[in-house]
Chains A and B, each alone.
Chain A
């Protein structure tokens, strides 16, 4: 399979307690062949990144998830620059703990609460993609559910009715938990998320957040590469089968 497309620069933020930073760097760099650098959370400069580049807030347990997941990381020095970068139209992707940080930082609406079964859950789940109108979903077949793992204790998405309404009206809901046939049923909802919401974007469509881990499902050797298409979409890669 040959890949050709745009070169995109990625910066993966390392908070104290991030533990999916290396996984993200592996997929973006080694698997997707993009330029990727680690960004220590105490840094404040993002001058090397342009509008077409992407800052990733990876999974993990920033600050041990003490207090509330993501609640302390939003005060890390780098976050001020990340918010500024996003406000200037740069791409920001938050996965799992990164989604929690993005919500806490106000980059995305809503909050992520403790799973309804009160337990950490690690398993593969099916995702229904609701729109192609986002850089990260542009190449995804909406009819074909993706199998992507989750691994979190606080992934129950919650937002007030007005927010939910505007998310729907603006086509900001990217992924919903579903069964293997694409039905977003209660049984297919692993954590009690409102309306089965698994991933969203902001109104400007340049900040993405999701609980599932596409970086854990992007290589054939792992027996599942359903998540890879999210990175391919984001990078704008044209894939020759």
Chain B
């Protein structure tokens, strides 16, 4: 069968997602007209997804340096943090939004597979997974279909792969109706000195492709991820990859064993843009080149064209540069695990990547010209103040009528899909395999993961309230970092570093670029304050829905994945009330603030208001004090106040052990603001009464505001002497609302 490649011209380039300017630049670099395969290579490598062309300038303003950084952002597939004891932690979060919106099961599954590969390609064993999910209105049948598909996709992949999902978040908002967000995070551990680099050193060294055979799935996936989702996007289904977690498990074990043989020079997983991306990035990193024979690549289908082999995003594959003379060591490992290990080429010193097929060179490109930091284009886009800011400015709390029946409001708020337990979701994930999950039976604000063979534990969390970021991208992104840090602090950990997943609309929309620019600014500032460098992550633009009347971007959603460290896991702090009679305090300042709260959306249907109160310095001081309170063992439980306000925080602390509470609000504040407001930098703690004196004295010294709310009492909820019912009844709503909605 003879297939002739299309003639290359500007129109073809534009169809591949390139601009005229970029098309000209390619011809300039090559000194000639590219052929179709070469043009395809540039189109994927210069796509937003691979090149970060519209974000890299701003990303470089983020702090990437820290005392405990072993590998900085962008140097390898993921960041590497020194956790002491000769161990490093590799962690990263990544999006798989567009594939999941089209094919939720495979889209989410391959998102999980991709992020784990980023971790073990560096030689680290993944020990924990998290995810951050955003869906549209849960009452929509389409949303329910997406939720079920995404959850079983994440579950089936991760459960088989054998890495527990230890934490995450699920939010519902109309802005994600068509464009859901699926962000997956993996956390791995590696011994110092046993890491593997994504390099292609040593001309003459052999290049292997290992793992699954290459098929036609996911061709042009990176380009697909770099365009608006439209009604026609479903026609792009072949751009979605298919995952095989069993192959991934074998690939994990074989890759780690291969590194142990000493025969691996460099290794990189194949994600976006497949062989093209891994060969060019590894060569560019080492300033070498490669000669690749595409005829040697094991394929799933007959008659695959060379450009299809180059661009395929088939999953569960790795590119390995081996050490010449030690090929047999690599081959033995992959043979043991019954995986393909094919010699497909060698490293050269030319700086060029040559792809051969049937005795001919079918494409020849300069490696450096393709990659970020090399020849890939870099842009800064225009910004303009979003028009909806006017509506936010117009908000005035005094125009919001206080509810006459606070119990009724509490019930409505409590049943919101954003508030209720995500049990229906997380029970489909194996959360306990590897037997390191310290917070399964002992819940805390962040997930705690023991590091076997040490006394240490990792504290990990994903956080972003995108409604806050929508209201004020600068402050909202700061809050996302602060809340992540607060969750780690409240669990007994010390924040160490972050990875981010920046989900935004179309960067060519000046309002979206305004959101992006300011979110980066706020994130950077908060990260500097908490001394949590950004180790890496990813940017996902074009998250928006194309409607007849125009495009509607999703809320700007810069998800923070934060890593914290407990030097001794015995310092774990939990969020549940422990015993009747314990005193309940709120640390931080109460505010007359209901801005951007779930309460305001649920009870008043108001979607435009400022971010809730937040001051970075105040937050930082509070967290420092909480860290000391935990070490001094003065607190019995610690739980931060977030969505749903003080009321929901108290309920969550009480429901675990079916312990009620009796508290009083402060008449100086609106009752709805006091109970449901989401002013930041507040934490609920319970303490043994015998510790009260020492506890108060410490807070006095630290100048931390506190309010004695009441005590843990009985099995009922009592507020201002009014009975709010049995904890069990509330728990029933909390545990079953999602199930009832999804299985009705």
Known A-B contacts A215-B435, A223-B441; A120 and B159 likewise in contact (beta carbons under 8 Å): yes
Number of interface residues of A (CB under 8 A): 33
Q: Say if the beta carbon of B387 comes within 8 Å of chain A.
A: no
Number of interface residues of B (CB under 8 A): 34
Find out whether the CB atom of B160 lies under 8 angstroms from the CB atom of A65: yes
Contact digits for B535-558, partner A, Cβ 8 Å, 1 yes 0 no: 000000000000000000000000
Q: Chain A interface secondary structure, helix, strand, loop or mixed?
A: mixed
Find out whether the CB atom of A61 lies under 8 angstroms from the CB atom of B442: no
CB neighbours of B435 from chain A (8 A) = 23, 26-27, 215-216, 219, 222
Find out whether the CB atom of B441 lies under 8 angstroms from the CB atom of A121: no
CB neighbours of A27 from chain B (8 A) = 435
Known A-B contacts A19-B161, A26-B452, A216-B435; A64 and B427 likewise in contact (beta carbons under 8 Å): no
Find out whether the CB atom of A121 lies under 8 angstroms from the CB atom of B433: no
Cross-interface CB contact of B440 among A17, A215, A223, cutoff 8 Å: A223
Find out whether the CB atom of A121 lies under 8 angstroms from the CB atom of B438: no
Assembled-state Cα–Cα distance A222/B156 (Å): 24
CB neighbours of A16 from chain B (8 A) = 246, 249-250, 337-338
- Name B743's closest neighbour in chain A (CB-CB): A117
Measured CB to CB, the closest approach of chain A to B129, in angstroms, equals 13
Known A-B contacts A64-B244, A223-B440, A224-B441; A122 and B160 likewise in contact (beta carbons under 8 Å): no
Assembled-state Cα–Cα distance A224/B337 (Å): 35
- Name B441's closest neighbour in chain A (CB-CB): A223
- Name B148's closest neighbour in chain A (CB-CB): A119
Find out whether the CB atom of B429 lies under 8 angstroms from the CB atom of A122: yes
Assembled-state Cα–Cα distance A226/B434 (Å): 17
Q: Say if the beta carbon of A123 comes within 8 Å of chain B.
A: yes
Known A-B contacts A151-B430, A221-B450, A222-B435; A124 and B441 likewise in contact (beta carbons under 8 Å): yes
Contact digits for A201-241, partner B, Cβ 8 Å, 1 yes 0 no: 00000000000010110010111100000000000000000
Q: Say if the beta carbon of B392 comes within 8 Å of chain A.
A: no
Measured CB to CB, the closest approach of chain A to B437, in angstroms, equals 7
Measured CB to CB, the closest approach of chain B to A39, in angstroms, equals 14
Chain A residues 1 to 29 lying within 8 A of chain B, measured CB to CB, are 16-17, 19-20, 22-23, 26-27
Q: Say if the beta carbon of B569 comes within 8 Å of chain A.
A: yes
Contacts between the two chains (Cβ within 8 Å), count: 89
Chain A residues 149 to 189 lying within 8 A of chain B, measured CB to CB, are 149, 151, 153
Cross-interface CB contact of B428 among A42, A120, A149, A215, cutoff 8 Å: A120
Measured CB to CB, the closest approach of chain B to A33, in angstroms, equals 16
- Name B160's closest neighbour in chain A (CB-CB): A61
Known A-B contacts A64-B245, A221-B438, A223-B442; A122 and B432 likewise in contact (beta carbons under 8 Å): yes
Known A-B contacts A26-B435, A122-B432, A149-B432; A222 and B160 likewise in contact (beta carbons under 8 Å): no
Cross-interface CB contact of B438 among A59, A61, A223, cutoff 8 Å: A223
Find out whether the CB atom of B442 lies under 8 angstroms from the CB atom of A22: no
Chain B residues 431 to 456 lying within 8 A of chain A, measured CB to CB, are 431-435, 437-438, 440-442, 450, 452
- Name A30's closest neighbour in chain B (CB-CB): B452
Find out whether the CB atom of B249 lies under 8 angstroms from the CB atom of A19: yes
- Name A151's closest neighbour in chain B (CB-CB): B430
Q: Say if the beta carbon of B162 comes within 8 Å of chain A.
A: yes
Question: Residue among B250, B428, B430 with the most chain A CB within 10 A?
Answer: B430
Known A-B contacts A61-B159, A223-B440; A23 and B434 likewise in contact (beta carbons under 8 Å): yes
Assembled-state Cα–Cα distance A223/B437 (Å): 10
- Name A16's closest neighbour in chain B (CB-CB): B250
Known A-B contacts A19-B249, A223-B440, A224-B441; A60 and B430 likewise in contact (beta carbons under 8 Å): no
Known A-B contacts A19-B161, A221-B569, A222-B438; A122 and B427 likewise in contact (beta carbons under 8 Å): yes
Assembled-state Cα–Cα distance A221/B454 (Å): 13
Question: Residue among B155, B159, B429, B569 with the most chain A CB within 10 A?
Answer: B159
Name B's A-contacting residues (CB within 8 A): 152, 155-156, 159-162, 244-247, 249-250, 336-338, 426-435, 437-438, 440-442, 450, 452, 569
* 27 A-B residue pairings within 8 Å (CB atoms): A19-B160, A19-B433, A26-B435, A59-B433, A61-B159, A61-B160, A61-B162, A63-B246, A64-B244, A64-B245, A64-B247, A119-B428, A120-B159, A120-B428, A121-B427, A122-B430, A122-B431, A149-B440, A151-B159, A153-B159, A213-B432, A216-B432, A216-B433, A222-B438, A223-B438, A223-B441, A223-B442
Name A's B-contacting residues (CB within 8 A): 16-17, 19-20, 22-23, 26-27, 42, 59-61, 63-66, 119-124, 149, 151, 153, 213, 215-216, 219, 221-224
